[in-house]
Structure 1
Amino acid sequence: MLVALTGTLLLFKVELLQWSYPQLRLNQLPTEQTAAQVFDRYTKGYAYMPRAANPWLEVVTPTGARHYYNANGERILERPYLSDFVGIMVEFHHHLLLNDLGKKLLGYIGIVGLILLITGIIRWWPRRWTQRIFTIRWVWPWQRGFAGTLFQLHKVAGSVLFIPVFIGMLTGTAIMYAAAVSAGLTALAPERNPQPLTAQQWQQVAAAHNWQQRFDRAHQLMPEHQVQLVSLSNLSLRMTFPGEWHPNGRSHVQFDAQTGAVTSVYDLRYDSLGYQLSQMIFPVHVAAVGGLPWLIVVLFGGLALIILPLSGIYFWCWRQYKKRCRL
């Protein structure tokens, strides 16, 4: 339930940050030239490039602190690790505040949740479809019959919103087992095409010794792509191609720290269909695609995932209490 609650709230992470920190309400996006100047100050960590939704440059240090920069390259905010409610929500939703152990637990919780969801819809499935199936007789908590209201709410929410709840839980669980899911989908559709640039071609590109040069070389090698996520430690740039679902991109260009030479160029579009499908799971889960309609679907799915365990646990406890009273 808390995972669903934090996940639902994080659909509005940008709005929550801008509400908490008014200095993030920026009108002008930092340019790549500004980003390059900022990145030259760092040797470790990673950074998110500005976008229309979040118009700032965000650098994440190895300690987990987040530094925000405006269009002039000025640091306007520093958020230490777990220093505010948004940071705590993110870490709880991803790892239950337990690092790798939390990720394992989330995987187990996801599997159990999927089993409960599927068995629940099977048990609910009616022999005859009538309007009464989707009716809730509302009674307030302080009135008699509230347990019946919760039971009806549980059934209606689980049936009407089954598809968004199922997709949310399935994609969330798949993210916890990303490597296995990716390997499985790749095995189902393994055919891939050769990368458009050979090692001999990209090794002939001039060396890059600062971030402006790295940006230039990346655009030279992959002119259709846009830089989204930068590794300041590994000197790599993750890029999106037009129409890609993943907000951070999966294509990349990487450089050698000593020589500045290009060491790797990868275009996701030429990889296997199975692997490409595996990279669509995350954007579906976080509503990074589909616009407002899919955001609304994911939002209702998240709300249902809050209602279902609450109503289910309450009704179960109520039944146990009634059984004891009869003894």
Structure 2
Amino acid sequence: MWRHGFGRVHKWLGLSLALWMVLVALTGTLLLYKTELLQLQYPQLRLVEIPSATEAAAVFNRFDAGYAYLPRADKPWIEVVDGAGTTFYFDGSGKELLARPQLGDWVSWMVEFHHHLLLHELGKDIMGILGLLSLLLVIAGVVRWWPRHWSWRVLSVRFVRPGQRQFIATLWQLHRSSGVLFLVPIAVLLLTGTAIMYAASVNAGLSQLLPQKVPQNVPRQAKLLPQTTAANWQQRFAIANQFWPQQTPRLVYLAPTEEGNYRMRLQHADEWHPNGRSYLVFASQGSLVSADDVRAKSLGFQLSQMVYPLHIAAVGGWSWLAAVLLGGLALMLLPLTGVWFWWRRRAHR
């Protein structure tokens, strides 16, 4: 009886979430190759030589709002997002290669849909709710399917052409087997995607659950350098290299905080997060006033910073990227075969 109940939950949730799941899986899978898609649409972004941090700093000095990314291998350009949401791309000489206004091309539409359903903060809340429902959908499907007796036949698929009568069995077998075989990447993608929507709560919850510090070989921080002025980003990067030579600047905030301070994010060699989660803060007059090393944070906080890299396959090399791709394809196949099976079965009855 309880298996039947889980089956009904799985069916109605699947029918309700099918279109959303296909579109989110499709956009997410394509965005794994965002750099390649941008370079395909805008050939001027195919830079051979990666700009240096000094060259990036010269560009950052021209902006006083928004944020910017330093060049790296998977983004071989200087990228600045201004206060209006327009993204600018520059080469090492400081020449503007491209200006992409928000929702100005199909890649930007995909990003906004995948993140916020094109509804800004409301879309983020909706995405979080749909993510939780999708996790319930997967749990209900696994419970409903779980075989009483295991054998290789529980995952077999007999392929029949759509025009034949037995095609309905093929749909069911495809739906079942793809869900089970790719259960791990599917579960990781749905879990991490939902956690990203509730990032603040996840960070706080894990920090409280695992407050202990991880013993790491964190270098002693030298004294801050209040006597050193840093009126521009070149000087701030020089101070960062002197203070934390083992960390690499990845992202800077171009607009000062309410206190008039400037911030940058840095990444250490063993860190998963591509933008880093260590912070340096510079006062408006240029002195380094605070440093926050992610390696000195609690175990729970450090675990929470692994959610985003797992979701976008920023770690794990080609093996995890392949698993994420297969998981994304499975998340498209599952609702398609499920709805098709439901419709054919209903028509047959």
TM-score (norm 1): 0.94
**1:195 to partner: Cα distance:** 9.5
Q: Which residue of 2 aligns with 1:224?
A: 246
Q: Is 1:255 paired with 2:282? A: yes
CA contact (8 A) 1:40 1:210 kept: yes
1:259-314: per-residue Cα shift (whole Å, max 9, x none)?
22223211000111110010011001100000101000010011111111111122
Q: Provide the rounded CA distance (Å) in 2 between the counterparts of 1:318 and 1:232.
A: 56
1:21-69: per-residue Cα shift (whole Å, max 9, x none)?
1111111011111111101110001111111112111101111111111
Q: Which residue of 2 aligns with 1:62?
A: 83
Q: Which residue of 1 aligns with 2:329?
A: 303
Q: Which residue of 2 aligns with 1:10?
A: 31
**1:81 to partner: Cα distance:** 0.9
CA contact (8 A) 1:30 1:55 kept: yes
Q: Which residue of 1 aligns with 2:146?
A: 125
**1:145 to partner: Cα distance:** 3.1
**1:192 to partner: Cα distance:** 3.8
More moved, 117-126 vs 279-288: 117-126
Q: Provide the rounded CA distance (Å) in 1 between the counterparts of 2:243 and 2:51.
A: 23
Q: Which residue of 2 aligns with 1:27?
A: 48
Partner of 1:202, secondary structure, is: coil
Identity percentage of aligned residues: 50
1:86-111: per-residue Cα shift (whole Å, max 9, x none)?
11111110001000111111111111
Q: Provide the rounded CA distance (Å) in 2 between the counterparts of 1:174 and 1:75.
A: 36
For residue 270 of structure 2, the aligned residue among 235, 240, 243 is 243
Q: Provide the rounded CA distance (Å) in 1 between the counterparts of 2:163 and 2:236.
A: 65
For residue 307 of structure 2, the aligned residue among 281, 285, 298 is 281
Q: Which residue of 2 aligns with 1:316?
A: 342
1:148-196: per-residue Cα shift (whole Å, max 9, x none)?
2211110000010011100110111111111111111111211248994
CA contact (8 A) 2:102 2:108 kept: yes
Amino acid paired to 1:211: W
Q: Which residue of 1 aligns with 2:105?
A: 84
Amino acid paired to 2:234: Q
CA contact (8 A) 1:205 1:217 kept: no
Q: Provide the rounded CA distance (Å) in 1 between the counterparts of 2:80 and 2:151.
A: 55
Q: Provide the rounded CA distance (Å) in 2 between the counterparts of 1:285 and 1:236.
A: 26
Q: Provide the rounded CA distance (Å) in 2 between the counterparts of 1:153 and 1:180.
A: 37
What aligned pairs does 1:125-274 form with structure 2 within 5 A after superposition?
125-192=146-213, 196-197=220-221, 201-202=223-224, 204-234=226-256, 235-257=262-284, 259-274=285-300
For residue 292 of structure 1, the aligned residue among 318, 325, 328 is 318
CA contact (8 A) 2:226 2:289 kept: no
Partner of 2:76, secondary structure, is: coil
Amino acid paired to 1:100: E
Q: Provide the rounded CA distance (Å) in 1 between the counterparts of 2:255 and 2:289.
A: 14
**1:207 to partner: Cα distance:** 2.2
TM-score (norm 2): 0.88
More moved, 140-149 vs 97-106: 140-149
What aligned pairs does 1:33-44 form with structure 2 within 5 A after superposition?
33-44=54-65
Q: Provide the rounded CA distance (Å) in 2 between the counterparts of 1:130 and 1:102.
A: 43
Amino acid paired to 1:209: A
CA contact (8 A) 2:79 2:88 kept: yes
Count of residues in correspondence between the two structures = 320
CA contact (8 A) 2:86 2:99 kept: yes
- Change in CA separation of 1:223 and 1:195 when aligned onto 2, cut-off 3 Å: closer
Q: Provide the rounded CA distance (Å) in 2 between the counterparts of 1:254 and 1:9.
A: 35
Q: Which residue of 1 aligns with 2:8?
A: none
Partner of 1:229, secondary structure, is: strand
Q: Which runs of 5+ in 2 are unaligned?
A: 1-21, 257-261
Q: Which runs of 5+ in 1 are unaligned?
A: none
- Change in CA separation of 1:261 and 1:135 when aligned onto 2, cut-off 3 Å: same
Amino acid paired to 1:254: V
RMSD: 1.7
CA contact (8 A) 1:30 1:73 kept: no
Amino acid paired to 2:253: S
